[in-house]
Structure 1
Amino acid sequence: MKLETEKKTVNKSAEELYNFLGDVKNFEKLMPENISKFEVLEDDKFLFALKGMPEIVLKMKEKQPHNKIVLGAASEKLPFTLTADIESLAADKSEAKLTFEGEFNAMMGMMIKGPITSFINTLTDNMGKVS
């Protein structure tokens, strides 16, 4: 399963946005309002839960300076990645897009497609609001 958000313009340079997303504690600022738990576990790992959903632990998997950050599930039970692609537009503007990729059976895919799509769209929308 592969889900992508629309590109979102962010009033930060590509380097600033990359540095922001590269610090896992900043993901708390991007979370939806229905978050019930957020906890930084290590410098490169955090746990979050949305109301009515199980806790998910994400770990930094890959960083390509100023244009890509890949987070992955720390658990092998539900293997997926969340990739932030960053593109520079100007000295103080960039564009970001999130891509969620995971291997799920058809039933699980149908159950999670809506909530995951909503979740990654919220993260991307909130990127545009951070200052």
Structure 2
Amino acid sequence: MNLESPKTTVAKSAQELFNSLSDVKNFEQLMPDNIAKFEVTGEDSFIFGLKGMPEIKLKVKEKIAPSKIILGAASDKLPFTLVANIESISENSSEIQFNFDGEFNAMMAMMVKGPISKLIETLSANAAKL
């Protein structure tokens, strides 16, 4: 299952946005209002939970400055990646888009598609708050 958020323009350079997202603590500012839990569990990992959904632990898998940060599930039970793609527009602005890629069975994909689509749209929209 592959989902993409809309692209959002952010009033920061690509490097500044990359630096902000490289600090996992800043992902709390991107989360939707219905977040039930957000906890940094290490230098490159955090757990978050949305109301009505199981908690998810994400870990930074790879950083490609200043254009990409790849987060992955810390558990192999539900393998997926969340990629923040950052594109420079000008010296003081950039564009961000989140891509979600997960391997789920058809039933699970049906259940999680809506909430995950909404989550990555919110992450993208809230990037301007960083």
Taking structure 1 as the reference length, the TM-score comes to 0.98
What is the count of residue pairs matched by the alignment? 130
- Equivalent residue letter for 2:36: S
Q: Deviations over 1:4-48 (max 9, x none)?
A: 011110001000000001100000000000001000000000000
Q: Which residue of 2 aligns with 1:64?
A: 64
Are residue 94 (structure 1) and residue 94 (structure 2) matched? yes
The equivalent of 1:5 in structure 2 is 5
Structure 1 residue runs of 4 or more that deviate by more than 2 Å after TM superposition: none
Counterpart in the other structure of 1:39: 39
Describe the SS at the equivalent of 1:98. Answer: strand
Instruction: Flag structure 2 segments of 5+ consecutive residues without an equivalent.
Output: none
C-alpha offsets along residues 43-100 of structure 1, whole Å, 9 cap, x if unaligned?
A: 0000000011111000000000100000000011100000001010111100010000
What is the aligned-residue RMSD (CA, Å)? 0.6
Q: 1 CA distance for matches of 2:78 and 2:47?
A: 14
Residues 1-131 of structure 1 correspond to what in structure 2 (within 5 A)?
Answer: 1-130=1-130
For structure 1, the 5+ residue unaligned runs are none
Q: Distance in 1 between matches of 2:8 and 2:93?
A: 10
Question: Structure 1: how far apart are the matches of 2:78 and 2:57?
Answer: 10
Equivalent AA in structure 1 for residue 2 of structure 2: K
Paired with 1:73 and 1:46, the residues of 2 have a C-alpha distance of: 10
Percent identical residues: 62
Mapped to 2, the partners of 1:2 and 1:105 lie a distance apart of 13
In structure 2, how many angstroms separate the alpha carbons of the residues matched to 1:129 and 1:37?
A: 19
